[in-house]
Amino acid sequence: MTAHPGRYPSTRLRRTRQHAWLRSMVAETALAPADLVWPLFVHEHEASHPVASMPGVERLSVDGIVKAAADAAALGIPAIALFPVVEAGHKSDDARHALDPDNLVCRAVRAVKKETGDALGIICDVALDPYTTHGHDGLLREGCILNDETVAVLVKQAAALAEAGCHVVAPSDMMDGRVGAIRAALDAAGRQDVCILSYAAKYASAFYGPFRDAVGSHAALATAASLGVADKKTYQMDPANTAEALREVALDLAEGADMVMVKPAGTALDVIWRVKEAFGVPTLAYQVSGEYAMIQAAAANGWLDGPKAALESLLVMKRAGADCILTYFAPEIARALR
């Protein structure tokens, strides 16, 4: 696209900013409920528990999730993403509870599916962190996160989730080779229709803090520190890198990913842009817990207008090239957009 050759004073860019109707005529980007995915936390208790570091977000019972799913569908939100809060008794070094077809998230998937069928997308994380005693996304031995051994477990976890009825499995673990292995296993099980949304460019980020509070992996990760692996930097990406993000995306696509994710979104708008430009594939962005918490905290202090800041933060992610955004603001924004 070449620059418009206009010159002041015959050209005045303020002319098209005068009225709301005129601004909306020339708007290049729009945000709609269909651009949003709602991440939800499910726990074993009947009562809902607020997440202290994420004001407005609650851990819900399976029934609560079913109700939230119905709300999402009514609001025009295309899909929910489910994250389980796993009881300490179900955590182990080998994450075996992730494979249990009757675990919490599988039960939640079945309950939602029964209610909304194929009218609402159900996305499930594939990663071991909710199920490991040390809170890592992979198996840990002698201070190392094991890649290929972890992939073998992730494949079974993805199969269990697909069997429960989820539409999209979303490996968020950042092990090498897991997309291809999951695709092959799903296909062999006759699950060619289950989509893979790969967290292709997932950065080792401080902005996941509130999420780890929500699912209780913070405390687990603290025990990991004593085992010599306090952070996820040997598998999640260095925020210094973008070329590497493009390589991650290329590999995941070659292995059969249907959609790719960039995460966190707000600190990686350049990455979203480059991924979309380079590959032109469905590109999702995750406005993560810390991004949500920052806006909510400032709003609670009266330091900024929360709903406006939320809307703007999401609009610019679309402008950067995101086709869809996972955000804890999803229901509130969908309501505001109606």
Residues in touch with ligand PBG (CB under 6 A): 125, 127, 129, 137, 172-173, 208, 211-212, 232, 288-289
Distance between CA atoms of 23 and 21, rounded to whole angstroms?
6
Q: 232 vs 276, which CB is nearer to ligand PBG?
A: 232
Q: 115 vs 297, which CB is nearer to ligand PBG?
A: 297
Q: 186 vs 288, which CB is nearer to ligand PBG?
A: 288
Q: Give min distance, CB of 12 to ligand PBG, in A.
A: 43
Q: Give min distance, CB of 112 to ligand PBG, in A.
A: 19
Q: Residues 312-315: contacts with CB within 8 Å, 24+ apart?
A: 313/266, 313/287, 314/31, 314/35, 314/36, 314/287, 315/29, 315/31
Active-site annotation holds for 263? yes
Distance between CA atoms of 31 and 107, rounded to whole angstroms?
32
DSSP letter string over 298-334?
A: HHHTTSS-HHHHHHHHHHHHHHTT-SEEEETTHHHHH
Q: Give min distance, CB of 101 to ligand PBG, in A.
A: 21
Q: 63 vs 87, which CB is nearer to ligand PBG?
A: 87
Active-site annotation holds for 318? no
What are the helix and strand counts (H, E) for the chain? 12, 12
Q: Give min distance, CB of 150 to ligand PBG, in A.
A: 12
Q: 11 vs 130, which CB is nearer to ligand PBG?
A: 130
Q: Which of 206, 207, 283, 289 is nearest to 245 (CA)?
A: 283
Q: Give min distance, CB of 130 to ligand PBG, in A.
A: 8
Say which residue the tokens 């949500």 belong to: 292
Query: Among residues 91, 113, 202, 276, which one is catalytic?
Result: 202
Residue nearest ligand PBG (C-beta atom): 211
Query: Among residues 91, 113, 263, 318, which one is catalytic?
Result: 263
Q: Is 82 exposed, middle or buried (0-12, 13-18, 19+ CB in 10 A)?
A: buried
Structure tokens at 92: 């182990």
* Residues with catalytic function: 202, 263
